[in-house]
Chain A
């Protein structure tokens, strides 16, 4: 009995001790917290709290901006770019939403870009700054050119080189369309030479690559040569790519005769699996020998295509074509959108970039069509010049446009597969052109 009592007492004391120590530590914690609070928090009258809160609202920040607020680049902004400019940019992003949703203009990229632009123009929150999430995304994969490369892998996995392999000479059309890039480059430097704008040679090159009609390549070059123009270049590139069905047909019709538009092309021969498997390795080897500067883009592209054609890594192929490219598209779009901040986009340069971009597109289209007409002067199978316009990349939209215009004149003339040849050659061509531009500035 005595034993039990002693045990009970001992247990009781143990519990009591534990309780007091726990209580003590709790007290200490509370004390610490209160002293911590006392350092930062000063009791204020309620009216003052409301006033302070109201001063922090977005409305005040837009109407009466803080002159000390820094842009995402850590520079001072004019009050126009802090106030009205942001409102204008947000309205522009609403316009882009409308284009993407109601008009179906490249919604996969335009929506993330536009929403990124919407977020980047929020005052105070500084989402596009180095520590905001858009800034983090930008630094994660855009400033180091990672995302465009991953997109290129996915595009490679989606590309079928069969039409090109069965009629290789149509690759020349894809080369001619790159004249859009270099012709515009001359135009851009001429503009700055005669004092309309102040573009450096690097900036002019980055702008003219819009003529390659290839989104990832444009972004790749812009981040390398002129990161300050990235937002305008990407928006111009993707919005013109979306407008291919509007921009191209008038040019194609103006440069061809009725008889030319009705040319029927011979059926494509069968391409064996081994040819398709060897092709990516072949092109990459050529790129290594001729122009190593172009191998980041061509290498990623051919990696994706090789996985697809190998036929033994269906899981990886599927991931490249779907999951990976979708995830990267989201990040790429938001990252590009972060460059739509008013202080970087609402500048006179943007207008010139938009104008030069559409000139680049039109010149590329025209050059492709004219090249097809030139090739028809030589003996051999005749080429329908309408597929020349597909030489600007914009896969597969440009090829579909060729097909559609061809069928307007002859219901039975299916040009789609013929146009895919120059179309994919255009991707290779713009990657080579990008490599040339990079190597020139090394």
Chain B
């Protein structure tokens, strides 16, 4: 039987490009859904939390400076 190879090729082309696009479009929708869910329910620690942390660190630093100053003063007195 003589099959028309060119027609076969065109069929392959439509099927192949169709599958590739279908897959990628589903993937895009899935990515968008995933991003929405993750940002909605599992957000990363917000900038405010980080700011609070740094504020705490600043306080710690101040305490350390105070302690060192006190120690130096004590040393000079003695």
Partners in one complex: yes
Taking CB as reference atom, which chain B residue is nearest A269? B35
Which single member of A174, A273, A435, A440 contacts B44 (CB below 8 Å)?
Answer: A273
How far in angstroms is the closest Cβ of chain B from A112?
31
Interface majority SS on B: helix, strand, loop or mixed?
helix
Which single member of A181, A186, A283 contacts B27 (CB below 8 Å)?
Answer: A283
How far in angstroms is the closest Cβ of chain A from B30?
6
Cβ of B31 and Cβ of A165 under 8 Å apart?
A: yes
Cβ of A189 and Cβ of B6 under 8 Å apart?
A: yes
B22 at the interface (CB under 8 A from A): yes
Cβ of A282 and Cβ of B34 under 8 Å apart?
A: yes
B32 at the interface (CB under 8 A from A): yes
Interface residue tally on A, bucketed by range: 35 or more
Interface of chain B residues 2 through 44 with chain A (CB within 8 A)? 4-6, 8-10, 12-13, 15-17, 19-28, 30-32, 34-35, 38-39, 42, 44
Given the complex, which residues of A lie within 8 Å of B6, measured CB to CB?
186, 189-190, 193
A205 at the interface (CB under 8 A from B): yes
Cβ of A282 and Cβ of B15 under 8 Å apart?
A: no
Cβ of A282 and Cβ of B30 under 8 Å apart?
A: yes
How far in angstroms is the closest Cβ of chain A from B75?
46
Interface of chain A residues 160 through 217 with chain B (CB within 8 A)? 164-165, 168-169, 171-172, 174-175, 178-179, 181-183, 185-186, 188-190, 192-193, 201, 204-205
Given the complex, which residues of B lie within 8 Å of A181, measured CB to CB?
16
Taking CB as reference atom, which chain B residue is nearest A435? B19
A278 at the interface (CB under 8 A from B): yes
In the bound complex, CA of A14 to CA of B31 (Å): 87
Interface residue stretch chosen among A336-344, A351-359, A392-400, A425-433: A425-433
Given the complex, which residues of A lie within 8 Å of B26, measured CB to CB?
286, 290
Cβ of A205 and Cβ of B12 under 8 Å apart?
A: yes
Interface of chain A residues 139 through 163 with chain B (CB within 8 A)? none
Cβ of A432 and Cβ of B23 under 8 Å apart?
A: yes
Cβ of B17 and Cβ of A179 under 8 Å apart?
A: yes
How far in angstroms is the closest Cβ of chain A from B48?
16
Interface of chain A residues 417 through 442 with chain B (CB within 8 A)? 425, 428-429, 432-433, 435-437, 440
How far in angstroms is the closest Cβ of chain B from A207?
12
Taking CB as reference atom, which chain A residue is nearest B8? A201
Which single member of B13, B28, B32, B34 contacts A185 (CB below 8 Å)?
Answer: B13
A-B CB proximity, top 5 nearest: A189-B9, A182-B13, A186-B9, A189-B5, A168-B31
Which residues does B use to contact A, with CB under 8 Å? 4-6, 8-10, 12-13, 15-17, 19-28, 30-32, 34-35, 38-39, 42, 44
Which residues does A use to contact B, with CB under 8 Å? 164-165, 168-169, 171-172, 174-175, 178-179, 181-183, 185-186, 188-190, 192-193, 201, 204-205, 272-275, 278-279, 282-283, 286-287, 290-291, 425, 428-429, 432-433, 435-437, 440
